[in-house]
Amino acid sequence: MAGLMHNPYFATAAYFTVTGLAMILFLVVFELVTRYHVWAELKRGNMAVAMATGGKIFGIANIFRYSIQANLSLGQALIWGTFGFCLLLVAYFIFEFMTPSFKVDQEIANDNRAIGFIAMVLSIGFSYIIGVSLSR
Q: How far apart are CA 130 and CA 72, in angstroms?
A: 18
- Give pLDDT, residue 1: 60
Residue 8 in this model has a pLDDT that exceeds 70? yes
| Global pTM value | 0.91
For the stretch 103-119, pLDDT in tens is 999 999 999 999 999 99
Q: How far apart are CA 36 and CA 40, in angstroms?
A: 8
* DSSP codes joined into one string, 53-92: HHHHHHHHHHHHHHHHHH-SSHHHHHHHHHHHHHHHHHHH
For the stretch 17-57, pLDDT in tens is 999 999 999 999 999 999 999 999 999 999 999 999 999 99
Greatest CA separation for the chain: 56
For the stretch 50-81, pLDDT in tens is 999 999 999 999 999 999 999 889 999 999 99
